[in-house]
Structure 1
């Protein structure tokens, strides 16, 4: 595929069918942390950002193990 001088590109019919893009569908471009550009139906980018945030939080969950009990941590915060 080639981008025109106006920045336009034709999305192949097979891709439009697979993505569910119909004539008049609003799309948005989302650039991921991996540098990959994704074309999504408008509004889906927010869902993707939320999923990425959830995944990041899940990766961090439990990583701050201090070896202290909850009671010991609470005692430290009260000093």
Structure 2
């Protein structure tokens, strides 16, 4: 069993051996689930495909809904180097 210390900010740093066991590298995410008996389970988060990572990234940023024609025009202008 490994004992970790909680910082003043309420953070816990996983030791290198634990990260290696999970197969987690810097920048990757882990999932923590609450388990019975004041326990937590930690597992490596499954990596999403490129599309899943960007899908919805701009959701809620604007009230404007573009038509297909408007999107195609914006793409055409982008490829032509126009603004």
Q: TM (normalized to structure 2)?
A: 0.44
Which protein is richer in helix relative to its size? 1
Q: TM (normalized to structure 1)?
A: 0.45
